[in-house]
Structure 1
Amino acid sequence: MNTKKLLDGSVWRTVLLVIVVAAADVLLSVISIGLGMDSGSVPDPEHAGIEWARFGFAPLLAPVAAVALIWRHRFPKSVAALTAVLGALSFSGIAFFVALFLLAKRQLSWWVAVIVALSIGAEALLGMGPWGWDVALVGVVLLVAIAGWGAYRGQRARLRQSRLVSLKERAGRVEAERIADIETSKLAERHRIAREMRDTLAHRMSLVAVQAAALQVDAPDAETAEAATLIRETAHAALGELRDVLGVLRESGASHAALARTAPSGIEEIAGLVAEWRQAGLNVGYTPNPTLGNGIPDAPSRAAYRVVQEGMTNVARHAPEAAAAVTLERRSTESGGSVLHISVVNGPSGPGAPALGAGLGLIGLAERVQLLGGTVDHRPTESGFELRAVIPLQQQGKQEFTGDAL
C-alpha cells in the first residue's frame, strides 16, 4: 500500500469535508436568521442597535465549527462539545451533526448522551428563541437518530474488520497446513530415497567386501593381501556408517544432532583419515598437531574434518598419482577472535579422461561452512588444484549447525 497516496487522500477528504460543512452551516445560519426576522424572533436591525450584533456575527461563527472537524479523529469528544456550542451560537448545526455521528460511530458510550444533553441545553440558552416541549422533543429525536445511525455504521465497520482479521488468520492457518503437508511429503520422499540408497549401496559395498575377502585369501603376495584387507575393512566401515545415517533418516523427527552422533568425526580423526588414504596409495603430506583441537567447538571441528575428507576424496578421484598436502592452522583475527584455516592442495592430474563428478560434495561443504559463518574457496591452479576453507571458532549470530551433510 502506498502510504503517501493514502495520506494525500485523507487530507483532501478532510479539506472537502470542511469546505462543504462550512458552506452548509453559513447558508443554514443565514436562512435561520431570515426566518427568525419573518417570525419576529429576531429583532429588526434598524431598531435593535447593538443587540443585533449577535445575529450579525452568527454566520461568521458557523465556519469555525466546520474547521474544528479537522481534529475530529484525535479529539472526538472535545470537537463534538465545541461544535454543539458553536452550532447554538451560529444558529446552524451541520458541523455538530457530523461530529456527533463520528463520535457515536467510534464508540456508543455515555459520552454520546452527555453531548446530546449539552447540545439541547446550549440551544435552549443560546438559541434564537425559547423552545417549546414539542421543538425540544423533535431535537432530541433528531440527535438520537443521528447517534444511532453512527453507532450502527461503526458496529458494521468493526464486524467487517473482525471478519477480515478472521479470514487472514484462516488463510494463515491454511498456508501453514499446506507448508506442513509439503514438508511431510518431502520427508516421505527422503525416507523412500534413504531406503533405495541403503538397498543399492549396501548391495554394492557387500560385493566389494566379499571380493576383497576372496582376494585376501588368494593374494599372491603380502602387499596384495594388505591392500585387500584395507578394502574389505573400508567397505565394512562404510556399510556401518551407511546403516546408521540412513537409519536416522527413517526416524520421525530426526534432528541434526541425532544425525551427527552417527558419524563421530573431528580434528582429532584427521590423522587417521590421512593414514587411510596413504594406505590406499595416495601421497599425502600432513603433520598432526595434538593441541590444535583444544578448545575448538564441536561443529567447527566436524566441519574441518569434512573439508579434509572432501578434499582427499577429490584428490583420489581426479589426481590419484599427484602429491597432496593437508594443512590446518589456527589464526587470530583483528577483532580478537580466532579462525581455523584448512587447505588441501594437490599437484596436476595424470593423463587420461577426468573422473566424473557432479560437484555436489563441494556444494554441500560450502553450505555447511557458511552456516558456521565461514567461507570455502576451491579453484584449479598452475600446479594442480586447491581447496581452502576458513571457519570462525566463535558462534556467528544465532545460527548453529550440529549435524553432518549427506
Structure 2
Amino acid sequence: MFVTDQLGSFTSNTAQILVCVSLGVAGYRAPMRATALAVAASFAATAFNIADPGMALTGNMWMYSVLLPVFPAVLGSYLRSSAERLEEREVTPDALLAAGGVAITVLSTWTTWHSGTQPVWVVGLLAVVGGLSLGIARRLPGLVFLLQGVLLVSADTYLNSAVNTCVILTLIAIGVFSMRVVSWAWTVAAYVTGCLLTAIAVVGDNTEVTPFRVGVLMTLVATPIAIGRYLGVRRAAAATEKLVAEEAARAAVAQVRADQLAERERIARDVHDIVAHHVGAMVLRASAARYAAPDGPVADALNDIRETGHQVLQDLRDLLDLLRDPDRQPDLLANPADVVRESAERMAAAGLVVDLELDPATDQAPLIARTSAARIVQEGLTNVLKHAGPGTRVRVSVTPAEEGLDVEIRNGRPPTAIERLPSSGRGLAGMRERVRTVGGTLSAGPDGEGGWLLAAHLPTHTRVSPGSAA
C-alpha cells in the first residue's frame, strides 16, 4: 500500500480493499497471534493511505485507520469460531421474532419515513428488512447483530427519529447472539460492541456523561446478554438431558439384547445336550449294527440311517450357530438342485417311487427362491413317507413360472395299509411359514383321486407379506 499510494487513489483504494480481504482470511484461518500482527502492521499502512499530503491525522482518521483493519479480522475470527449449528427444526420462534421485529420497526417509525433525506420507499424497505432479519437471528446470530449495528449507525446519521427503534432491535440481536454463542470471549466482545452502539445512539453533542448514566447504559446492554446466556444454558442443559435419555434408552436396549442372547445361548446348550446326544447315539448304534449285517436291504437301511444322522447333526449345529448369533446371516444352500436330487434319492432308498422333474432353467432363479424350493421338497417328501408309506409313487416337479418358481409334490394312493410314523404336526405349518416369509403361496390337500397334492409358488422378487393367506 505504501507503493500504490504513490500511483493514484484508484490503485491505492484497490490495495486497501485487498488488504481488508486478506485480514478477513487471516482471521478465519491463521492463529490469533499471527492475525494480531497482521492487523497491527495494517494500522500504519491504512493511516498512510487515508492521509493526504499536508493534512494532519485527526481523531476521525485514526478511528478509520483502526476500524478498517480490525473489522475484517474480527469478522473472520467470528466465522471460524461462531455459534454451533442449530439442529432444531422448529421455526415458530423464528417466525415470532420476525413478526415482532417488523411490528416494532413499522409501527414505531412509519410516521417519520418522509422526514429524512432518503426516499420513503428506501426507509420503509430498510425498516422491514431490519425487522425481518430477526427471523434468522437464531441461525445467523453474528450476521444479524452486524446488520442491526449498521442500521443503528445509519439511523443515527440519516433518520434520528428511528434511532430508539434500532436500539431495541440491536439489544434483541445481542440477546440472541449471547444465547447462541457459548464462548465468553465473543460474549464480552458483543457486550462492548453493544455498549458502543448504544452510546452512539443515546449520547449527543449536548449530553452530559455521568457515572450514573454510564451505569444505566451498561446495565441496559447487560440485561439482554444475561437473558440470552440463561436461555443458552437452559437449552444446553435440555440437550444434555436428551442425550443422557437417549444413551439410557440405548443401554436398556443393549441390556435386553444381551439378556436375549444369554437366553438363546442357554437354549442352544440345552438343545445340543439333549438332541445331539440322542442323535449321536442313534448314529453310533446304526454304525455298529452295520457290521452285523454287511449286505442286503438291512445294511442299506442302516447306511441311510447313519448318513441321515450325520446330516441331522450338521444341520443342528448350523441352527444352533444361528440361534447363538441371530445377526449372522445363515449359510444358504450351496447348490439347491443337488439338495433336491439328494432328497429324492434318499426317499427312493427309503421305499418311495419318486419321479423327479427338475427344470434346468430353475438355476437362473434367485438363490433364496431355490433354497426355499429345496427345503419344501425335503419336507414334502418326508411327509409322503410318513403318511403314505413305502411303495407310494410320488411325482416332484420344480419348474420356473411367471416371476417365480412352482413346486409341486403329488403322491398317489398308498399301495397298502401302513403304520404311520410319528409326526409332530409342524411340517406343513413350517412350510406355510417359510413360503409366507418370502411372499409366496402354498396349498395342500387331497387331489380327488385318493392321493395328496402340495403346491407352492415362490416369487423371484422376495417380498415379506406376513398377512397373506397361504
Same fold flag (TM > 0.5): yes
Give the equivalent residue in structure 2 for 1:179: 257
Cα distance between partner residues in 1 of 2:430 and 2:258: 25
Between the two structures, name the one with larger relative contact order (CA 8 Å, sep ≥ 6): 1
Counterpart contact for 2:195–2:221, Cα < 8 Å: yes
Count residues with an aligned counterpart: 342
Contact 1:83-1:99 within 8 A present in 2 as well: no
- Separation of aligned partners in 1, 2:412 and 2:385: 12
Alpha-carbon contact 2:171-2:194 (below 8 Å) kept: no
TM-score of the superposition, structure 1-length normalised? 0.64
Does the CA contact (< 8 Å) of 1:194 and 1:249 recur in 2?
Answer: no
- In structure 1, what is the equivalent of residue 381 of structure 2? 312
Q: CA deviation at 1:150?
A: 1.9
Q: Which moved more, 1:267-276 or 1:205-214?
A: 205-214
Identify which of 303, 312, 327 aligns with 2:372: 303
Q: Separation in 1 of the partners of 2:338 and 2:402?
A: 21
Displacement after TM superposition at 1:311 (Å): 1.0
Give 1:89's aligned residue. 161
1:103 aligns with 2:177: yes
Distance in 1, matches of 2:171 and 2:244, equals 34
Q: Which amino acid aligns with 2:310?
A: G
Matches within 5 A, 1:110-259: 110-111=189-190, 113-125=192-204, 130-134=207-211, 135-204=213-282, 206=284, 216=293, 226-248=296-318
Provide the residue aligned with 1:404 in structure 2.
Answer: none
Quick one: which amino acid aligns to residue 191 of structure 1? R
In structure 2, C-alpha distance between the alignment counterparts of 1:390 and 1:136, rounded to whole Å = 88
| Structure 2 residue identity aligned to 1:117 | L
Amino-acid identity (%): 17
User: Are positions 1:279 and 2:346 aligned together?
Assistant: no
* 3-state DSSP of counterpart to 1:286: strand
Deviation at 1:234, TM superposition (A): 1.4
Aligned to 1:132, the other structure's residue is in SS state: coil
Give the aligned partner of residue 411 of structure 2.
346
Q: Who is 2:427 aligned against?
A: 361
Q: Give how far 1:390 is off.
A: 3.5
- Is the CA contact (8 Å cut-off) linking 2:383 and 2:427 kept in structure 1? no
Aligned to 2:456: 389
Tell me what 1:38 maps to: none
In structure 2, the CA distance between the partners of 1:275 and 1:106, relative to structure 1 (3 Å rule), is: closer
Q: CA deviation at 1:157?
A: 2.1
Structure 1's 72 and 301: CA in aligned 2 closer, same or farther, altered over 3 A?
Answer: closer
Q: CA deviation at 1:354?
A: 7.2
State the distance in 2 between where 1:18 and 1:286 align: 83
Contact 2:138 2:180 in 1 (8 A): no
1:343, 1:388 within 8 Å by CA — same for their partners in 2?
yes
Matched, 1:330 2:400: yes
1:147 deviates by 1.8
Q: Structure 1 residue 377: deviation in Å?
A: 0.7
1:132 maps to a residue whose letter is V
CA contact (8 A) 1:343 1:386 kept: yes
- Aligned partner of 2:45 in structure 1 is none
Distance 1:319 1:379 in 2: 15
- The answer as to whether partners of 2:98 and 2:134 remain within 8 angstroms in 1 is no
Q: Report the TM-score when normalising by structure 2.
A: 0.56
Query: Per the alignment, do residues 172 and 231 of structure 1 end up closer, same or farther by CA in structure 2, a change over 3 Å counting?
Result: same
Counterpart CA distance in 2 for 1:67 and 1:250 is: 65
